[in-house]
Amino acid sequence: MLVVMRHGAPQSDVDRVVAVIEEMGYEARPMPGAQRTAVGLVGNDGRVDAGRIEALPGVARIIHVTQPYKQVSREWRVEDTIVTIAPGVSFGGNEVPVVAGPCSVESEAQIIRAAQQVRAAGGTALRGGAYKPRSSPYSFQGLGLEGLRLLARAREETGLPIVTEAMDDEGARVVAEYADCIQIGARNMQNYSLLKTVGKLNRPVLLKRGMAATINDLLLSAEYILAEGNTQVILCERGVRTFDNAVRNMFDLTAIPVVHGLSHLPIVADPSHGTGVRDKVIPMARAAIAAGADGILVEMHPEPDRALSDGAQSLYPDQFAELMVQLRAVASAIGRTVPPKPEA
Ligand code: PEP
Ligand code: MN
């Protein structure tokens, strides 16, 4: 439930609403906005007496959020949320950041080289998994803590912020010490204990859509994170499994405008996992920007043919550089920008 205050209502009125909500045993979240202040009531179990709040001074109206997810919904917050993972790197505004790098961190030489190539082409952040959720227990599982240290080295070297995955509660706390943004992978989208843990950490979260999850499921998973107090959530469309095995996944671009209608959170697109095929990545990345994606997450490896994971969908460095040029053109056609190549 959302309590909308009158335009210009004094702070004392807002404080009173907060006090009454707390007295009723619920949590109050005051949200000053450009147009008006609202106070969210968290945890409504259906027993709230809205009439009591409606009668308080300064209250304009009460909005009952109709969606099952509350704080994630557009009803809760009308304006787009902008998530900043590092100074100058924000998702949800006019600029469309590009997060690129290998599927996995494999060695110091590999990740530093990748970071330099990402930066040289104008990429905005570095991706790379240190903890890898692999379908087979016999596949490369990632370098773990050593991988996080190497990512930190790559950040020092290039200045690029780091996006990397956490797979469990303990790992999430460690990842939060190194990463600028914690990725929750498709396989963990419904790991509710992990979602609650990252909800309590003071780090932006990139939440990927599960491979069999509906958009409603994705938004409910994001709600777990916001409900714990962390509003810095970036959603990610990465394709879903279907009957068609022509490509690895069905890349659901419709999810982008649908999510924009339902939620104020930014949504980025991952055409690498979305297609699983290198030569399909560039066209689908272009399409994702055209569809309104607030960022692109893409796999690029200095030597994809030697990659320990997802080599077949990883771009060659020169393809990534070409992709950046094309993405700038598509973004500009819809009045947005993809960051330029840094001056040499
Ligand atoms: C990844 O980003 O490398 C990854 C494992 O992605 P997903 O969770 O979408 O499969
Ligand atoms: Mn991958």
Tell me the two tokens of residue 144: 């773990």
- Taking residue 123's Cβ as centre, other Cβ atoms within 10 Å add up to 30
pLDDT above 90 covers a percentage of the chain that reads 95
Residue 119, pLDDT above cutoff 80: yes
Residue 34, pLDDT above cutoff 90: no
pLDDT above 70 covers a percentage of the chain that reads 100
* Ligand 1 interacting residues, C-beta cut-off 6 A: 103, 129, 133, 185-187, 208, 238, 273
> Strand 2-5 to strand 37-42: parallel, antiparallel, or no bridges (unpaired)?
antiparallel
C-alpha 286 – ligand 2 centre gap (Å): 19
Residue 35, pLDDT above cutoff 80: no
Q: Hey, which residues does 182 pair with through a beta bridge? A: 164, 205
Q: Measured from the CA of 129, which atom of ligand 1 is nearest?
A: 3
| pLDDT of the residue at 62 | 95
Sheet architecture: strand order including 59-63: 27-32, 37-42, 2-5, 59-63
Ligand in closest contact with the CA of 249: 1
Mutation probe of ligand 1 site: the residue of 182, 194, 208 with most atoms within 8 A of C-beta: 208
Tell me the two tokens of residue 328: 């700038």
Distances (CA, A) of 146 to 106, 185, 198: 10, 20, 21
List pLDDT tens digits, range 65-118. Answer: 989 999 999 999 999 999 999 999 999 999 999 999 999 999 999 999 999 999
List pLDDT tens digits, range 160-205. Answer: 999 999 999 999 999 999 999 999 999 999 999 999 999 999 999 9
Estimate the share of the chain in helix, then strand, then coil, as percent rounded to the nearest 5.
40, 20, 40
Whose C-alpha lies nearest to ligand 1, atom 10? 186
| pLDDT of the residue at 46 | 84
Whose C-alpha lies nearest to ligand 1, atom 4? 185
Smallest CA-to-CA distance from 146 within 93, 110, 99, 200 is with 110
Q: Measured from the CA of 270, which atom of ligand 1 is nearest?
A: 9
Q: Lowest mean pLDDT: which of 43-47, 70-74, 133-137, 279-283?
A: 43-47
Protein residues placing their CB within 5 Å of the ion ligand 2:
103, 310
List pLDDT tens digits, range 234-261. Answer: 999 999 999 999 999 999 999 999 999 9
| pLDDT of the residue at 144 | 97
Q: Is residue 167 within 8 Å of 196, Cβ to Cβ?
A: no
Residue 43, pLDDT above cutoff 90: no
Residue 306, pLDDT above cutoff 80: yes
Whose C-alpha lies nearest to ligand 1, atom 3? 103
What mean pLDDT is predicted for residues 22-26? 94
C-alpha 63 – ligand 1 centre gap (Å): 37
Q: Measured from the CA of 187, which atom of ligand 1 is nearest?
A: 8
Helix (H, G, I), strand (E, B) or coil at 235: strand
Residue 344, pLDDT above cutoff 80: no
Q: Is the pTM of this model over 0.75?
A: yes
